[in-house]
Amino acid sequence: MATEQVSTGVPGLDDVLSGGYLPGCPTLVMGQPGCGKTLLLLQFLADGAKQGHRAVCATCSEAPERMLAYMVALGHPAEAWVRDGRLVMVDLRPEPGEVVLGALDQEVVKIRLDAALAEGGVIAPEARLGIDDLNRLAYAFNPDGVARVQTLALLRLLRESGITTIMSAADDAATRAALIDYAVDAVIGLRQTVAARLMTRTLRVLKMRGVPHGTNEYPFMIDSHGPSLLPPARGMGGHRSREGLVSTGHERLDTLLGGGLYRGGSVMVSGTSGTGKTTLLGQIAQGLCTDGRRVIYVTLEQDQSELIHDFKGVGIDVEPHRATGRLRFHRARSVDCSLEEHLIRIVRLAEAEAPDAIFVDAVTSFADLDSVAAVKSMVLRLIDACKSRGVMVVLTELLADAAGMASSLGLSSMLDAWIRLELHRQTSEYVRLIRVLKGRGVRTSQQIKEFQITSAGIAIDDPYLGGGAFVFGTEKLIREREDHRERIALERRLEQLRRELEVLPQAYDARVDQTVLERDKAIESLREEIETLRTRLAASKSSEEAVREARGQP
Amino acid sequence: MTESLPSAGVDSAASRPGLRLFILGQTETVRRAIANARQLGAVEIIDVRENPQAAEQAHVLATPTLVRTDDARIRIVGDLRNLAAVRAHLGPPYEGDPEAPAGDGDG
Per-residue pLDDT of A446-465, as tens digits, reads: 778 888 888 888 888 887 66
Q: What is the nearest CA distance from A152 to chain B, expressed in angstroms?
A: 14
A102 contacts on B by Cβ (under 8 Å): 29, 32-33, 78-82, 106
pLDDT of B81: 84
Please state, in angstroms and rounded to a whole number, the distance separating the CA atoms of residues A267 and A417.
5
Element at A461 (helix H, strand E): strand A457-461
Domain annotation covers residue B67: yes
| Residue A239 pLDDT exceeds 60 | no
Please state, in angstroms and rounded to a whole number, the distance separating the CA atoms of residues A2 and A8.
15
**Which amino acid, one-letter code, is at A543?**
S
Clarify whether residues A272 and A409 are in a common domain: yes
Domain annotation covers residue A240: no
Q: What is the mean pLDDT of residues B67-86?
A: 86
Clarify whether residues A300 and A178 are in a common domain: no
pLDDT of A294: 94
Clarify whether residues A471 and A419 are in a common domain: no
Closest chain B residue to A95, measured at CA: B73
Is there a contact between B76 and A114 if contact means CB atoms under 8 Å apart?
Answer: no
Please state, in angstroms and rounded to a whole number, the distance separating the CA atoms of residues A516 and A81.
126
Domain annotation covers residue B29: yes
Helix (H, G, I), strand (E, B) or coil at A452: strand
- Total domains in the fold of chain A: 3
Please state, in angstroms and rounded to a whole number, the distance separating the CA atoms of residues A524 and A527.
5
Domain annotation covers residue B32: yes
Domain annotation covers residue A235: no
pLDDT of A405: 56
Average pLDDT, chain A: 85
Q: End of a domain among A463, A495, A527? A: A463
Helix (H, G, I), strand (E, B) or coil at B37: helix
Domain annotation covers residue B100: no
- In angstroms, how far apart are the furthest CA atoms of chain B? 36
Element at B58 (helix H, strand E): none
Please state, in angstroms and rounded to a whole number, the distance separating the CA atoms of residues A474 and A103.
96
ipTM of the complex as predicted: 0.78
End-to-end Cα distance, chain A: 169
> Which CATH number goes with the domain that contains B72?
3.40.30.10
Clarify whether residues A361 and A289 are in a common domain: yes
Nearest to B61 among A97, A101, A106 (CB): A106
Q: What is the mean pLDDT of residues A334-362?
A: 87
Clarify whether residues A456 and A307 are in a common domain: yes
Clarify whether residues A457 and A476 are in a common domain: no
Nearest to A132 by CA among A227, A67, A55, A201: A67
Q: What is the nearest CA distance from B49 to chain A, expressed in angstroms?
A: 7
Domain annotation covers residue B35: yes
Q: Answer whether B8's CB lies under 8 Å from B38's CB.
A: yes
With cut-offs at 50, 70 and 90, classify the pLDDT of residue A16.
Answer: confident
Domain annotation covers residue A4: no
pLDDT tens readout for residues A405-434: 566 777 777 788 899 888 887 767 778 888
Nearest to B76 among A91, A99, A137 (CB): A99
Distances (CA, A) of A317 to A308, A311, A326, A461, B89: 7, 6, 13, 22, 80
Whether residue A545 lies within 8 A of chain B, CB to CB, comes out as no
Residue B26, domain extent:
2-90
Q: What is the mean pLDDT of residues B18-28?
A: 91
Q: What is the mean pLDDT of residues A342-356?
A: 88
Q: End of a domain among A229, A261, A283? A: A229
Q: What is the mean pLDDT of residues A53-80?
A: 95
Residue A279, domain extent:
253-463
Q: End of a domain among A438, A463, A488? A: A463
Nearest to B76 among A101, A107, A111 (CB): A101
Clarify whether residues A81 and A105 are in a common domain: yes
Domain annotation covers residue B106: no
Asked which of A365-379, A411-425, B7-21 is least confident by mean pLDDT, the reply is B7-21
Give me the DSSP letters along A210-221: T-----SPEEEE
Interface of A with B in 101-140 (CB under 8 A): 101-109, 111-112, 114-116, 137-139
Q: What is the mean pLDDT of residues A468-485?
A: 73
More confident call, A546 vs A406: A546
Is there a contact between A102 and B61 if contact means CB atoms under 8 Å apart?
Answer: no
Clarify whether residues A442 and A488 are in a common domain: no
Clarify whether residues A419 and A546 are in a common domain: no
Domain annotation covers residue B70: yes
Whether residue B46 lies within 8 A of chain A, CB to CB, comes out as no
Domain annotation covers residue B107: no
Domain annotation covers residue A237: no
- Total domains in the fold of chain B: 1
Clarify whether residues A287 and A196 are in a common domain: no
Nearest to A111 among B55, B75, B79 (CB): B55
Report pTM: 0.67
Element at A397 (helix H, strand E): strand A392-398
> Which CATH number goes with the domain that contains A321?
3.40.50.300
More confident call, A514 vs B10: A514
Distances (CA, A) of A239 to A11, A235, A242, A385: 19, 7, 8, 9
- A33 upstream amide cis, omega within 30 of 0: no
Domain annotation covers residue A288: yes
